[in-house]
Chain A
Amino acid sequence: MADRSHIVKSYEQELGQLRSMMSQMGGIVENQVALALSAIADRNEEAADAAARQDPDVDELEREVESLAIRLLALRSPMASDLREIVAALKITGDLERIGDYASSIARRSLRIRGADGQISLSGLRSMGRLVQDNLRRSIDAITQQDSNRAMEVWHADRAVDEYYTALFRELVTYMMEDPRNIRACTELLFIAKNLERIGDHATNIAERVFYAVTGDNLPAVRPRGAPATADTSEQPDR
């Protein structure tokens, strides 16, 4: 601690610190999503608790990233790709924080779908979850490696998530029509599916921001969308 270099940190180091914090935040959020999904699939109540418990850490990291980014902007006047990276980091933390929120919301809801065991197939939700997890992983890889190609991949892959959501929506509505006793659990599952879909959207947002940070170009405003809503899916709750 007697070393002077601890007092005057170099720009490069601060940038490294920022990247490290982003990747740490990404790791926690990924873990939250994994725990939330295991809470549903394996009926793992501990995982549900653990997912919710990590929320404060994510919030704390978000604040730290923000203040470091603002500090870098104010004191170092970054240019070109550095500037874009830092501004993107500011926004990406917002996305990551939302993903964390959705994950803990999924975890909390997972505790309320008991009682429907065995009657409702969770395999669709499980596959959708895996897909979303994979997209999230790739978008966080894109952040840490500043890789625009990966970002593009994620951007295109979100379509499949949307399609899964539409299919799940139909399936759950069918369960509810079959037996009104399923309605309670199915409503929770619908929200869970919606939350997963939102996580997918945020992963896509992250990919867009990384693409901008790396290339300086924006991806088209209209993203490839899932299947257009047909008559029986048009009344899906949109939040």
Chain B
Amino acid sequence: MRAESLAAVSHEGLPFWAGLVLVGAAVAGWGCAFLAFRRPALPLPVVTEHSALPPAVPTSETALPIEIFPGSVLLLDRLGAVLQANEEALTQFGDSVGAILRHPAARSALSAALRVASDSADDLPSMCSTTFTLDVPVPRTLHLSLRRIPAQHDRHTRVLVMLSDRSEAQVLDRMRIDFVAHASHELRTPLASLSGFIDALRTGGSSMNEGTRQQFLDIMAQQSARLKRLIDRLLYLSRVQAHEHQRPRDLVEVADLMAIVLGEVAPRFDEPGCSLNLAIEDDLTIRADEDEMVQVLLNLIENALRYGREEGRPFAVTLFARRAPERDDRWPEEGGVLLGVEDNGRGMEAHHLPRLTERFYRVVDKVEPAKQGTGLGLSIVRHILDRHGGRLRVASAPGRGTTCLVWLPPVGALPAENS
């Protein structure tokens, strides 16, 4: 700092070389001062030999072969600074090691580990452990076990830390709580509107004119239908989940399946400007629960109609079934069958796609509340496909329509029993 200000002064009054000399002198002066005072050369005979060891670089005699541990291992000094970390720890926890180690629970475990005395010279100091949860960058529950590594010199004491991730149980718990919260919220909304209108009808009584009364009753009918649909869907979802682990064994002809689906949805495409196309290859067989696969396709078509359709534009839905291409990285196995629903509707932004199968997730932007679905359709689809060992992929872009692809594994994957 001072060197710079001197240089500035010199430029105004003195020739250029004088400035250089001054700057040089200042830099040299500071350099000397820096060398002389940076590490005070106090006479500390005992300390100097040890303090020559900077905390971050362990010398070969202090380094532990922590790479050999099958797990995430860190080596700390007694102040909690990381001396060594193995590859596993860096890949598993790299970004959050700092946040983990400074968590109050980890700090108190560290001081506990440093405090515990070993009974005799042969005994290892006992282990200290702690479990806590971090919110960021991703919510995770961590388990730390610490053990002091005794050293001759107190200051060289180190602590070995094993880190493990215990998030799974936590996540399941969280999901259950979220589900109950969401479900009750979703159920409450139509119920609140129902009871509101009931109150209005009761207090309004005879003074209410027939038109208003009819309007209220219509809304109530709509809301109670919504409530019923929601409960049906929830029950269906829980049924699907209940036998999620039994793979279906029946063989189903895709053509038969499509005939059932077509029978169900055809009336909804009667309106002008709304068409349903079929593109189905011959002789396709899948191993599936027929009712559930019908449900999958109905849900996908329902979504296309509900969220894709725009007023005043011809709307076309294509229902297709074909053999999966031989080499396709998107699916876990070679072969198999692709079923799909494609529309030319309004599409959606990419940021919705990863969340579509979440329960009660809805793309709300442009659909008026009365037309909104239960938010369970794709969640049901995902669970059914999980059971079938299948996959769902959704591709979409605003204004370019949406394509939902369902992949089902080749039939040979299970021993046929009833073919």
1/0 per residue, CB under 8 A from A, across B266-295: the answer is 000000000000000000000000000000
Give the dominant DSSP class at B's interface.
helix
Query: Which of B40, B47, B54, B102 has the largest number of chain A CB atoms within 10 A?
Result: B102
Query: Quick one: which of A31-66 are within 8 Å of B by CB?
Result: 31, 34, 37-38, 54
Per the bound structure, the CA–CA distance linking A141 and B39 in Å amounts to 26
Closest to A143 in B: B98
Whether A23 touches B80, Cβ cut-off 8 Å, given contacts A12-B55, A54-B104, A137-B137, is yes
> Hey, which chain A residues are within 8 Å of B50, CB to CB?
5, 10
List, in ascending order, chain A residues with CB within 8 A of B47's CB: 5, 8-10
- Does residue A234 face the partner (Cβ distance < 8 Å to B)? no
Do A13 and B51 touch across chains, with their CB atoms under 8 A apart? yes
Q: Could you mark each residue 180-213 of chain B with 1 if its beta carbon is under 8 Å from any beta carbon of chain A, else 0?
A: 0000010010000000000000000000000000
A3 in contact with B153 (CB, 8 Å): yes
Q: Is B136 an interface residue (CB 8 A)?
A: yes
**Chain B hits for A137, CB < 8 A:** 96, 99, 136-137
Determine whether A187 belongs to the interface, using a CB cutoff of 8 Å to chain B.
no
- Complex CA–CA separation, A145 to B98 (angstroms): 9
Is the beta-carbon distance between A140 and B98 smaller than 8 angstroms?
yes
Chain B: which residue is nearest A20 at the CB level? B79
Contact A12 B51 (CB under 8 A): yes
B37 at the interface (CB under 8 A from A): yes
Q: With A30-B103, A140-B98 as given contacts, are A11 and B135 in contact (CB-CB < 8 Å)?
A: no
User: 1/0 contact trace for A142-176 toward B, CB 8 Å?
Assistant: 00110000000000000000000000000000000
- Indicate whether B353 reaches chain A with its CB closer than 8 angstroms: no
A34 touching B135, Cβ below 8 Å: yes
Tell me the smallest distance from the CB of A159 to a CB of chain B, in Å. 18
Those of B115-144 within 8 Å (CB) of chain A: 134-137
**CB of A19 closer than 8 Å to a CB of B:** yes
Query: Interface with B: A74-82, A106-114, A199-207, which one?
Result: A74-82
Number of chain A residues close to chain B: CB under 8 A: 40
Q: Is the CB of A27 within 8 A of B136?
A: no
Total A-B pairs in contact (CB under 8 Å)? 95
Interface string of B69-81 (1 = CB under 8 A from A): 0000000010111
Complexed CA–CA distance, A43 and B154 (Å): 45
For the complex, is B155 an interface residue (Cβ under 8 Å from A)?
A: yes
Contact A31–B103 (Cβ < 8 Å): yes
Most buried by B among A20, A78, A145: A20
Contacting pair A23 B98 (CB below 8 A): yes
How far is the CB of B73 from the nearest CB of chain A, in Å?
20
Q: How far is the CB of A55 from chain B (nearest CB, A)?
A: 13
Determine whether the beta carbon of A80 is less than 8 Å from that of B39. no
In the assembly, what is the distance between CA of A134 and CA of B55, in Å? 28
Rounded to whole angstroms, the CA-CA distance of A80 and B79 in the bound complex is: 24
Task: Give B56's nearest chain A residue, CB to CB.
Answer: A16
Smallest CB separation, A77 vs chain B (Å): 5
Given contacts A3-B153, A118-B188, contact A130 B102 (CB under 8 A): no
Residue A233 interfacial (CB < 8 Å): no
B89 to chain A, nearest CB (A): 16
Q: Is A4 an interface residue (CB 8 A)?
A: yes
Asked, given contacts A17-B79, A27-B102, whether A82 binds B38 with beta carbons under 8 Å apart, the answer is yes
CA distance A118 to B107 in the complex (A): 38
- CB pair B80–A20 under 8 Å, yes or no, is yes
**Cα–Cα distance between A79 and B1 once the two chains are bound (Å):** 12
Partner of B136, one of A10, A77, A130, A145: A130
* Most chain A Cβ neighbours within 10 Å, of B34, B46, B79, B137: B79
Contacts A10-B44, A27-B107; A80 near B136 (Cβ below 8 A): no
Query: From residue A166, how far is it (CB to closest CB) to chain B in Å?
Result: 21
B106 in contact (CB, < 8 A): yes
Instruction: Check if A37 sits within 8 Å of B135, measured CB to CB.
Output: yes
Task: Provide the residues of chain B in CB contact with A23, threshold 8 Å.
Answer: 80, 98, 101-102
In addition to A10-B50, A133-B135, 18 A-B residue pairs with Cβ atoms within 8 Å of each other are: A5-B46, A8-B47, A11-B39, A12-B51, A16-B79, A19-B81, A20-B79, A24-B107, A27-B102, A30-B102, A34-B134, A37-B135, A54-B104, A76-B40, A77-B37, A79-B34, A79-B38, A145-B98
13 A-B contact pairs sorted by A residue (CB < 8 Å): A4-B46, A5-B46, A8-B42, A13-B155, A24-B80, A27-B102, A34-B135, A38-B135, A54-B104, A77-B40, A118-B188, A140-B99, A141-B98
Residues of B within 8 A of A (CB): 33-34, 37-40, 42, 44, 46-48, 50-51, 54-55, 77, 79-81, 96, 98-99, 101-104, 106-107, 134-137, 153-155, 185, 188
